[in-house]
């Protein structure tokens, strides 16, 4: 009897296994048929381990070793004619592309076919809620329409917020040639104290062991001041709780975004939820105050009038206000901070460019005048320097969309890479602005007027305009960054104010190519070590 039961159990297990295999094969055959009907396949990245676990390992290690760009180059080595490849992970087909036509299709031409998708919304729900960055369709459109009027040029031109915090930024990074302890701004890898050992050059020297940290504090202060009407004052407080909790929430969220729902179950989230509670309590205090105002009080345009006041005129939902504020705070802080760090990193290595840029600023604006919006826009070389920085270091180097229905990508299939690629619903499409910006085929040949694309050269923008969809520092299409005018103005204003005061910038640290870290935004892995000399 026991033998019969054992045989029956084994038989049922075998039947179940055969059934699973047959179902898997049926789904694969049906998927193959549908993909061929829609278009075809992109070149496939070979995998030697079941479920693509070797690719998962390489992607994970690339992030640890700060070699994200190298892993993309390795993936695209399988696509000799077109920067579009595919591979499978755990049975899920995935597409990676850095082809301008495909990116245009995903972001604009076939906008309705691609979106953030429900998995992204679910994964970011706790942090960003139902904000403009996590939703699709009607919900996204309503968020966009809600926020667009709040970024009108008339509000972007209000520079009082920038001036308050730029002055505080420069005061905090300055020294007088003495030993300066900057530990409250520095990461553990950074030099915590420095002493000048070279000959005096100017009246005073300002130091920062890691420029990224002060710029993170600066942009956090300007963003909270602009949005809420009160800065968290992280520039004046190295142990600022809001900044600490905000950083920790971002750190955990970046991990969860990379490894997905299944493996995300094993990620400890205690610090994540503690940080979220602090952020929510802080933001909700301001929302409660504004919600208590009547219509006539909201119509006032007094000095205390803020982004939140304007937002509350369009919605009374406290949840909507919270989600949109936190989302804009995330976007407004990090992308601007890293761009400022990168531009001063490049200026510190290019004294001729620095001198030319400073000369333009002093000639057009002067040494002490507070710059206006028009002043910043009229500094042509400044605009070129900012564009060049964003070309080499796009703030969001990698991004992803999900196919919302069966559709196609225009290129990447066939032997020559010129045929459409069939895309089934729920297929993730990863795309890279970094690889797009660093692809030589998207540029003119190297010449005296157009140096190699790895070289920081604002002059290249004098007679050159990027081809359509080859330069996307703020994404593109209907979801193009709604706050790009604010970000560019803040970057320009800060550069002007600092170069009105500082005549020379020196670079310190280990020579060689900068290591880049890619979490939510692109950032210098080891910080930016520079010295500012006052003229």
What residue numbers does the annotated binding site for heme cover?
Answer: 481
Taking the C-alpha atoms of residue 509 and residue 448, their distance in angstroms, rounded to an integer, is: 30
Edge-first strand listing for the sheet containing 204-208: 204-208, 530-534, 502-507
Annotated binding site: 481
End-to-end Cα separation, the chain, in angstroms: 96
Instruction: Quote the DSSP letter at residue 415.
Output: T
Question: Which of helix, strand or coil describes residue 314?
Answer: coil
Structure tokens at 380: 């042509």
Task: Give the torsion through C-alpha atoms of 57, 60, 63, 64, to 10 deg.
Answer: -80
Query: Which residues contact residue 339 at a Cβ distance below 8 angstroms, ignoring those fewer than 6 apart?
Result: 386, 389, 390, 393, 395, 487, 491
Query: Which residues contact residue 57 at a Cβ distance below 8 angstroms, ignoring those fewer than 6 apart?
Result: none
Task: For residue 165, give the nearest of 240, 243, 232 by alpha carbon.
Answer: 232
Task: For residue 162, give the nearest of 387, 336, 397 by alpha carbon.
Answer: 336
Task: Give the torsion through C-alpha atoms of 329, 473, 159, 459, to 10 deg.
Answer: 160
Do the Cβ atoms of 103 and 432 come closer than 8 Å? no
Query: Which residues contact residue 505 at a Cβ distance below 8 angstroms, ignoring those fewer than 6 apart?
Result: 344, 347, 348, 354, 530, 531, 532, 533
Question: Which of helix, strand or coil describes residue 527?
Answer: coil
Q: Cα Rg for the chain, rounded, in angstroms? A: 26
Question: Which of helix, strand or coil describes residue 400?
Answer: strand
Taking the C-alpha atoms of residue 424 and residue 405, their distance in angstroms, rounded to an integer, is: 7
Instruction: Quote the DSSP letter at residue 473.
Output: B
Distance, CA of 511 to chain centre = 26
């Amino acid at each position: 009897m026991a033998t019969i039961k054992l045989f029956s159990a084994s038989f049922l297990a075998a039947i179940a296994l055969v059934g699973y295999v047959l179902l898997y094969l049926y789904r694969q055959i049906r998927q193959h048929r549908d993909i061929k009907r829609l278009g075809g396949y992109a070149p496939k990245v070979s995998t030697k381990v079941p479920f693509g676990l070797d690719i998962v390992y390489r992607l994970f290690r690339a992030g640890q070793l700060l070699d994200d760009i190298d892993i993309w180059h390795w993936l695209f080595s399988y696509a000799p004619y077109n920067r579009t490849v595919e591979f499978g992970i755990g049975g899920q087909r995935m597409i990676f592309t850095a082809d301008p036509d495909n990116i245009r299709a995903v972001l604009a031409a076939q906008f309705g076919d691609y979106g953030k998708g429900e998995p992204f919304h679910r994964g970011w729900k706790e942090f960003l809620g139902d904000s403009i960055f996590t939703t699709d369709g009607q919900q996204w459109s309503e968020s966009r329409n809600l926020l667009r009027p709040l970024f009108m040029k008339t509000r972007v031109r209000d520079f009082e917020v920038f001036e308050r915090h730029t002055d505080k930024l420069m005061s905090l990074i300055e020294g007088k040639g003495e030993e300066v302890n900057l530990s409250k701004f520095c990461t553990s890898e950074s030099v915590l104290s420095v002493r000048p050992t070279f000959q005096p050059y100017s009246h005073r020297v300002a130091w920062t062991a890691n420029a990224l940290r002060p710029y993170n504090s600066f942009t956090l202060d300007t963003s909270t001041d602009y949005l809420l009407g009160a800065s968290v004052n992280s520039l004046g407080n190295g142990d600022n709780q809001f900044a600490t909790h905000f950083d920790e929430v971002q750190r955990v969220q970046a991990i969860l975004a990379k490894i997905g729902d299944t493996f995300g179950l094993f990620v400890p989230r205690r610090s994540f939820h503690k940080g979220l509670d602090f952020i929510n309590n802080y933001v909700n205090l301001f929302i409660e105050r504004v919600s208590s105002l009547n219509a006539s009080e909201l119509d006032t345009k007094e000095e205390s009038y803020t982004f939140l006041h304007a937002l509350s005129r369009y919605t009374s939902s406290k949840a909507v206000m919270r989600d949109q504020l936190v989302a804009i705070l995330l976007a407004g802080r990090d992308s601007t901070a890293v761009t400022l760090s990168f531009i001063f990193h490049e200026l510190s290595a290019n004294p001729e460019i620095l001198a030319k840029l400073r000369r333009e600023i002093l000639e057009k604006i002067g040494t002490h005048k507070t710059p206006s919006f028009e002043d910043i826009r009229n500094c042509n070389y400044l605009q070129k320097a900012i564009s060049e920085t964003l070309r080499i270091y796009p703030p969001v180097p990698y991004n992803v969309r999900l196919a919302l229905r069966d559709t196609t990508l225009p290129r990447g299939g066939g032997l020559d890479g010129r045929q459409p690629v069939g895309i089934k619903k729920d297929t993730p499409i990863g795309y890279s602005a970094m690889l797009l910006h660093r692809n030589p085929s998207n540029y003119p040949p190297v010449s005296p007027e157009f140096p190699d694309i790895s070289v920081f050269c604002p002059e290249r923008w004098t007679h050159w305009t990027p081809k359509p969809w080859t330069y996307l520092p703020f994404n593109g299409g209907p979801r193009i960054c709604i706050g790009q005018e604010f970000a560019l103005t803040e970057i320009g204003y800060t550069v002007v104010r600092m170069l009105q005061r500082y005549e020379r910038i020196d670079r310190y640290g280990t020579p060689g190519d900068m290591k880049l870290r890619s979490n939510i935004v692109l950032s210098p892995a080891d910080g930016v070590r520079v010295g500012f000399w006052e003229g």
